[in-house]
Amino acid sequence: MRVIETVDEMRAARRGWGERRVGLVPTMGFLHAGHISLVERARAENDVVVVSIFVNPAQFGADEDLDRYPRDEERDAEMAEEAGVDLLFVPSVSVIYPDGFGTWVDVTEPGGEARARPGHFRGVATVCLKLFNIVRPDVAFFGQKDVHQALMLQRM
Ligand code: PAF
């Protein structure tokens, strides 16, 4: 399993895969059985499986503690490798949101939770569209735990 951190390396890897079908599982890390089931589905339906790990500051509210979000990169890498992931994409915050970043994705009215968590869905949509543009997957896999998020991403 390759582990890469930069957009250039990710794009080069994608070019190298050519016409092979690529599945992406976007995550914020601290992998668990739910993520692994998405990886297994991606593995079964694609030639290449990419998992991204990025704790996305843009989807945390002012009263939600980004620093306390659980992280265990070593364990995540072991679990991903064991599950048959080909490439782990682990960009830093400055790779995803470089200085001067100011382009956001707003998906209109996915449901009630959008009102309860202002900014949250904008952060999710923005990071997912960035990941799609960087990784260029044929298909992406998301859990259904957060139904509002799933509907919003489907809409996007
Ligand atoms: O559901 C999550 O883990 C996150 O919202 C996602 C889709 C990886 C975007 O950061």
Q: Which residues does a 6 A CB cutoff place in the pocket of ligand 1?
A: 26-28, 56, 59, 124, 127-128, 142, 149
Residue 22 host element (H or E): strand 22-27
Q: Which of 57-66, 96-105, 131-140 has the lowest mean pLDDT?
A: 57-66
Here the tokens at position 91 are 């960009």
Q: Identify the three-state secondary structure at position 47.
A: coil
Distance 18 CA to ligand 1 centre (A): 27
- Predicted local distance difference test score (pLDDT) of residue 146: 87
Residues acting as catalytic residues: 35
CA 35 vs CA 10, 38, 51, 56, 64: distances in Å: 21, 5, 9, 17, 22
The pLDDT-based confidence of 114 (bands split at 50, 70, 90) is: low
Output the residue whose Cα is nearest ligand 1's atom 8: 27
Q: Which of 35-39, 41-45, 93-97, 151-155 has the lowest mean pLDDT?
A: 151-155
Output the residue whose Cα is nearest ligand 1's atom 5: 124
CA 57/CA 127 separation, integer angstroms: 10
**Taking all residues of the chain, what is their mean pLDDT, rounded to a whole number?**
94
The pLDDT-based confidence of 112 (bands split at 50, 70, 90) is: low
Q: For the whole model, what pTM was predicted? A: 0.95
Q: Is residue 40 a contact partner of residue 141, using CB atoms and an 8 Å limit?
A: no
Atom of ligand 1 nearest to the CA of 146: 1
Q: Identify the three-state secondary structure at position 28.
A: coil
Q: Identify the three-state secondary structure at position 4.
A: strand
What are the two backbone dihedrals, phi and then psi, of residue 139, each rounded to the nearest 5 degrees? -150, 150
Exposed/middle/buried for residue 3 (C-beta within 10 Å: 0-12, 13-18, 19+): middle
Neighbours of 17 (CB within 10 A): 15
Atom of ligand 1 nearest to the CA of 145: 1
pLDDT in tens, 10-35: 999 999 999 999 999 999 999 999 99
Output the residue whose Cα is nearest ligand 1's atom 2: 27
Rounded to a whole number of angstroms, the CA Rg of the chain reads: 15
pLDDT of 51 strictly over 90: yes
